[in-house]
Amino acid sequence: MKDLGTVMEDAEALITATKDVAGEKVLEARDRLVNSLEMGKEAFERVRERTFDQVEALEEKVRENPMAAIGIALGVGAFIGMLLLGRRSRRS
């Protein structure tokens, strides 16, 4: 997310820096960049909203079934632990 913000800031700075530059190709490139930047912002906002909705839904499920959530977390942790142990034993 931080990198995306940096790219967007850099693109906006480029648009501002080239606002006085003449030339058909520069103007076309600026227009494409502005359009792409707007589409990117809109897509980012849609993904962000969906992500927050999914997080809220997951939190609700965990509140409704805390023991199931603990069991799933335990199982995932055990699985990852077995994978890591298997890797370590193969290196030896």
Tens digit of each residue's pLDDT (9 = 90 or more) over 35-51? 888 888 899 899 999 99
Structure tokens at 40: 């990117």
Q: Percent of the chain at pLDDT above 90?
A: 43
Of 64, 77, 4, residue with least CA distance to 37 = 4
Is the pTM higher than 0.85? no
Helices (H) and strands (E) in the chain, counts: 3, 0
Q: Long-range contacts of range 82-85, CB-CB < 8 Å, 24 or more positions apart?
A: none
